[in-house]
Chain A
Amino acid sequence: MSLKKQDDMDHNAWLKKQDLTVIETAFLTTLIWLDKRLRIVDYLELLETMYYRANMQMPKSHTEQYDLDNKFWYWYPLYSLGSLSIIAYLVAAVSGALLGFYYSPSTAGAAAQGDPTAAYDSVVMIMTDVQFGFMLRSIHSWAAQFMVAAVFLHMLRVYFTGSYKEPREVNWILGVILIGLTLLFGFSGYVLPWKQLSFWAAQIGVEMALATPLVGEWAAQLLFGGFTLGQATLVRMYILHVFVLPFVVTGLIALHVGIVWVQGIAEPH
């Protein structure tokens, strides 16, 4: 093979041969200049492919082909429940991040049993002193409850439309994991203000863990930081709620929706 520059790759010569207007010449010269340095053409091609994918000529869907639309339109809102879970999750994430500026995960400050702790006081502070704080806590709490409700209902819609069948089993299992983690999100958040009900809900949690054979004590130590509740419990719940779960759940939701993207939504028949 010759190392000499091949003539058909000489774009400038090719450019001269064409009968082009000034604008066309300027455009092509710029494009060639940029492309030599940045491989622009590759990206243009990608964009073009994306354009055609987005506006693709789709095959007629089952619903259209058999004219089932008149029978099904009233089910369609149920198909937005998954998206509503995500939206509620995002609202909870944003309001939660703002709450995190003021909350402190500490049981310090209680002189006697039943006195308010630092965690409890910081929530009181959010509700009474922080601008808009009362509303912020309310939004966070309601966003969480909307998310759980949407996830429950989403699961029911998937069940009753038979959408979990082959090839969507993996997404169903991912969903079961997600609903478990969503409930754990709620539970760990419920413990954080360290109010009376928080404490006793966590107490039940520890007792359940301890009642499990073999792994029980290990689980209690991992999740609750010991067999009796205290500072360690609060910090573990806090880390679970604001660090571990957000990453894991966000990742799993991305995977879940990615699989839906690849497989397409199961149509009702």
Chain B
Amino acid sequence: MTDDTTPMTDGGTDEEARTDGGPPATVPPDDETPTWSERKEHTSGLAQLTYQYFERSRREDENLRAESTYVERDVLGFPTWPHETIRNLAITSFFVGIIILIAAILPAHYGEPANPGATPAIILPDWYLYWSFGLLKLNPINPNLAVLGGNIAISNEFLGIIAHGIVFGTITLVPFLNKGGARRPVEEPFWAAVGVTGVVLSITLAALAIQNFFPITLDLLLTLTFMLPLVGGIITYAVLKTMREGYMYDLNRRYYMLRPPK
């Protein structure tokens, strides 16, 4: 176009309007994809909140990245092929090999056919359910829990079910009870002690399940079932608490310089 002011057929002077004679076209009619913020303005209620949150969280992410003190590596990461793949194949073959080896030298046991008429002297599940079976054998402590003048308030079986609920419930709640950035057991002796108590309890409960094999009285076994975990927990707590000071000094120097403890 040599002369911008040449009048057009309709008397206008706008170059852009020449194509279809409509109003000045700033946006081509077939390219109306709304931008992110336009979409946000058009929506309302929950959708708008969602967009707003997305934008916030993206900004937060960007800020965190900008503030990060991470140092870039000067080497590339290990390639997936061949390093990772071959290492994983090696671990896998080794582990499967061990399963097959053990299966060969310690063949699976088989027993008598089922007989609904004859209760066997010893009923046991596989070893990994011993702890659960132990929880079902807590009936001797049931009367202690009764509120009404020595009457058994709940059936022995239901006590076992409640015990299972408590175990699974406690494990589920762990992340909501123990918060913060600490990772090492020395940083949180209490929670390490809780963990050790749990592990020892699972073992003593398993022992309670196979009580017939222990040459000690049931009373003693029951006491031990609950005392040993506590002892284990207390020892853990004491040891870690003692180690803590020296360890934390090191940790603080190395690590908390950049990220203060919560």
Contact = CB atoms under 8 A, between A and B. Distances in A.
Interface of A: 1, 54-60, 62, 64-68, 80, 83-84, 87-88, 91, 110, 113-117, 120, 123-124, 127, 134-135, 137-143, 145-146, 148-149, 152, 156, 159-166, 168-169, 172-173, 176, 180, 183, 186-187, 190, 193-201, 203-204, 207-208, 210-213, 229, 266-269
A116 to B, nearest CB: 4
Interface string B80-111: 10000000100110011001101110111011
A114 B124 contact: no
Given A57-B77, A152-B128, A159-B195, A87 B182 contact: no
Contacts of A152: 128
Contact of A142 (B99, B113, B156): B99
Given A88-B99, A164-B174, A201 B115 contact: no
B42 interface: no
Interface in B156-192: 156-158, 160-161, 168, 171-172, 174-176, 178-185, 187-188, 191-192
A49 B188 CA distance: 42
Interface residues of B, number: 75
A120 B28 contact: no
B113 A120 contact: yes
- The majority secondary structure among interface residues of chain A is helix
A33 to B, nearest CB: 28
Interface stretch (B6-14, B46-54, B66-74, B221-229): B66-74
B77 A55 contact: yes
A172 B116 contact: no
B161 A208 contact: yes
A60 B72 contact: yes
Nearest to B174: A164
A110 B183 CA distance: 58
Contact of A268 (B120, B123, B183): B183
Nearest to B20: A1
Interface in B179-217: 179-185, 187-188, 191-192, 195, 199
Nearest to A124: B110
A54 B157 contact: no
5 contacts: A123-B110, A142-B108, A172-B172, A194-B114, A195-B111
A138 B107 contact: yes
Contact of A208 (B95, B157, B191): B157
A65 B70 contact: yes
CB-CB nearest 6 A-B residue pairs: A211-B157, A114-B115, A199-B114, A141-B108, A59-B70, A138-B103
B103 to A, nearest CB: 4
A224 to B, nearest CB: 14
A204 B91 contact: no
Contacts of A200: 119-120, 123
A84 B70 contact: no
A187 B115 contact: no
A211 B155 contact: yes
Contact of B168 (A143, A161, A180): A180
A81 to B, nearest CB: 11
B3 interface: no
Nearest to B122: A197
B113 A114 contact: yes
Contacts of B70: 59-60, 65
Nearest to B253: A66
Given A57-B72, A113-B117, A196 B158 contact: no
B79 interface: yes
A187 B129 contact: yes
A160 to B, nearest CB: 6
